[in-house]
Structure 1
């Protein structure tokens, strides 16, 4: 799976960073900045080329460390600079001491991690008591295998809706996210994430299901009637004292 991320790192950098993606620009980055405001030492798990880490430094964090297993992402993160420290590493084997960070963030990362339980346990380990874990996911409801937007003009009257696949299935698939670009996605029901957080001593304090941002809806006109179907899930969890 890591080979696919190495192969397509440049594709991701060109399509989802430096203002190229409305969901990052209008929703994900502002939420990350606002919900981690005031935290001084932050770990960015699955940092990619570092766009979240750079924003956190710009917002006042004193130390931000971005970790990613992909060489091509870390190389680009170091080129773009901006203040964070970048390291190559895996989420289930973080190279840090216990209770090292005030906060951690994982942004659209865990739907690509097979060793989810171990990774969450590692994040809990490196957080200080009462530290925050900010957890962004593609919403599990719309990430189910076989799910997708349906525009049925045969019915009278026509219907538009999001088809839900086998939600309770836990499965890893290589999905074609663009022409010739295959990346690994692991679908899990929401309860798997909630229970893993709880088992690791991370207490959920808040959950957000924002409507898709305006820029995404305008760009993807076929989803215009999907403004009330969340694409993003954001969980705030606190490390138990």
Structure 2
């Protein structure tokens, strides 16, 4: 006897793209736990979701460019595929009302009205603020030495074991802020270079220990303009 074929689900009638923030203690939450919180919130808010086909249908929720665990972010993105069209602003407010404190919807728009391309295609760089309460006194000199170096190899444990990669190549902009921290723009690459990789490389070039206390905040994420080094809004209108 042949196995019964699964019911085919209708495609989404609308895709709503949402920018949300990860703040406060929620910065220590993993992406897996954040995604679970969003999926529960979608159910609690009664948002009419479209579902995938197959024997185990799941709501059409797409994530892109998640910040590393331990970092705060003002620029996280998720896309909801809906079975019924609605006002994106209303959907954003309904979702925000049932999300945990620290996961906050910033804006919600109709994906059909934004720049063409998948969310992943529109997230090619990130702007980070790095607060360093224990920054070395010669931080400016360290930054200058790092930027003058063509390649800086660092190692990080990944799912495939220890990987060695160049953290310098992904740095679009790096400067010391008035508060003594770092302002950093990183181009997304494979393997991904994270702010903590930059700090490792900076310490390696300058010959000092990586500062023990660091607060990472992603303030923007979007499409990199290679000529200006600026990051465009992935939810901007066409």
Q: Do the two structures share a fold, i.e. TM-score over 0.5?
A: no
Rg larger for: 2
